Amino acid sequence: MTGIGFDLLATDGRARRGRVTTAHGTIETPAFMPVGTAATVKAMTTDAVASTGAEILLGNTYHLMLRPTAERVAQLGGLHRFMNWDKPILTDSGGFQVMSLSDLRTMSEEGVTFKSHLDGSRHHLTPERSIQIQHMLDSNITMCLDECTPFPATEAQAESSMRLSMRWARRSKDAFVERPGYGLFGIVQGSVYPEQRAESVAALTDIGFDGYAIGGLAVGEGQETMFRVLDFTEPLMVKDRPRYLMGVGRPSDLIGAVRRGVDMFDCVMPTRSGRTGQAFVRSGTINIRNARHAHDERPLDAECSCPACRSYSRGYLHHLFKADEMLGPMLLTWHNLHYYQDVMRTMRQAIENGNFEEVASAMETRLNEGDIEATVDPIAKPGKPPKQGRPPKAERVAEEKTDD
């Protein structure tokens, strides 16, 4: 096998059930990749991550090139050995930082010059250097260097950005070292403009890649716009290669994108939210810091088999966060990652069974139900019943905090 393999096992409407084969194992799709930006999924051991059902992790070229450096990772045996993860790894090229760190970089046709956010040192990242770094990291799926077009962008801005990314895609392909079980993905750009997305898909298809990512979304455009872009982009993409929607998202985003033919996802949301006290459950989201949970003996989600739900009450988890104990973020992160993998498993099974739309619609309905009814505090002070209404503003802000 040269590159990575992809078998399309079943379809139901536009939803796809597949399997990606790499030198470090297989990935059942639709798949969600936990984010391990700096060679670690925050608050989790790799054994714990694997126990959730995750089969692939994401690392980041930009952050690892700065610390500990790609050369150091290579000297220590590559990223799999370095972080004790023997399953597949995908590495982001650093393109997102081209956008998010705009005040610390300058761009040219050649590449991007970054000023390190760590110590102010200057680094030059070109398509060739990005591919070289990812090779040293021993990434199974390498991403082309691209410019993640910000939102909003005018048609002229989006066109210029997209065409630069396509030129960088060709250079990335030329620099990539082909070997069995390792692949290179191109990234479709074009903002919200159908003609530009079509041009980008055609350019990448002409170059030829092992898989194709859809970039430039989840950058503030909103779910409705994101789905609209997927509606006119996905039908143009080749059918026999995996499709990866970068940086997405909430459970409802995952369901809607799988409905539109996407195979792979990544997002910091389940881990970041877990660290700030937000839990994703089948009926939506809850903020475990809210006072209503302080006396609650029930689990976060009665249908979940993760350690947080199996062994601990909402009251205990609430206490951990109020006491600033590190176990709280660890358990909520574990729960969120487990829940996300449950969502993906459910969708894979539904596609195989041919009832995806029925199952997806039921999941979406439950996500809008809201949390279970609060219990009465048995030791509340007389005359001061527990608040049942809208939580204080500070707690609402924490609950609504999402990926940047």
Domains of the chain, first to last: 5-266 (3.20.20.105), 277-369 (no CATH)
pLDDT at 107: 87
Average pLDDT of span 18-41: 98
377 labelled ligand-binding: no
93 labelled ligand-binding: yes
Distance CA 361, CA 348 (A): 15
Could you tell me if 298 and 360 are in contact, meaning their C-beta atoms sit under 8 angstroms apart? Answer: no
Question: Which residue did the predictor score with more confidence, 178 or 148?
Answer: 178
Residue 123, strand partner residues = 114
pLDDT in tens, 209-238: 999 999 999 999 999 999 999 999 999 999
pLDDT in tens, 50-95: 999 999 999 999 999 999 999 999 999 999 999 999 999 999 998 7
25 labelled ligand-binding: no
Angle at 65 between CA 86 and CA 188, to 5 degrees: 80
**Catalytically annotated residues:** 92, 266
Q: Which residues of 40-70 are buried (b: 16+ CB within 10 A; e: fewer)?
A: bbbbbebebbebbbbbbbbbbbbbbbbeeeb
The whole-chain average pLDDT of the chain stands at 93
pLDDT band at residue 148 using 50, 70 and 90 as cut-offs: confident
pLDDT at 404: 37
pLDDT at 106: 85
pLDDT in tens, 197-207: 999 999 999 99
146 labelled ligand-binding: yes
Residue 286, strand partner residues = 279
92 labelled ligand-binding: yes
pLDDT at 99: 62
Distance CA 201, CA 192 (A): 14
pLDDT at 385: 54
pLDDT band at residue 120 using 50, 70 and 90 as cut-offs: confident
Indicate the residue type of 318: H
148 labelled ligand-binding: no
pLDDT band at residue 261 using 50, 70 and 90 as cut-offs: very high
Average pLDDT of span 288-292: 97
96 labelled ligand-binding: yes
> Which distant-in-sequence residues (6+ apart) come within 8 Å of 128 by Cβ?
171, 172, 175
Provide, rounded to the nearest whole percent, the portion of the chain with pLDDT above 90. Answer: 86
pLDDT band at residue 2 using 50, 70 and 90 as cut-offs: low
311 labelled ligand-binding: no
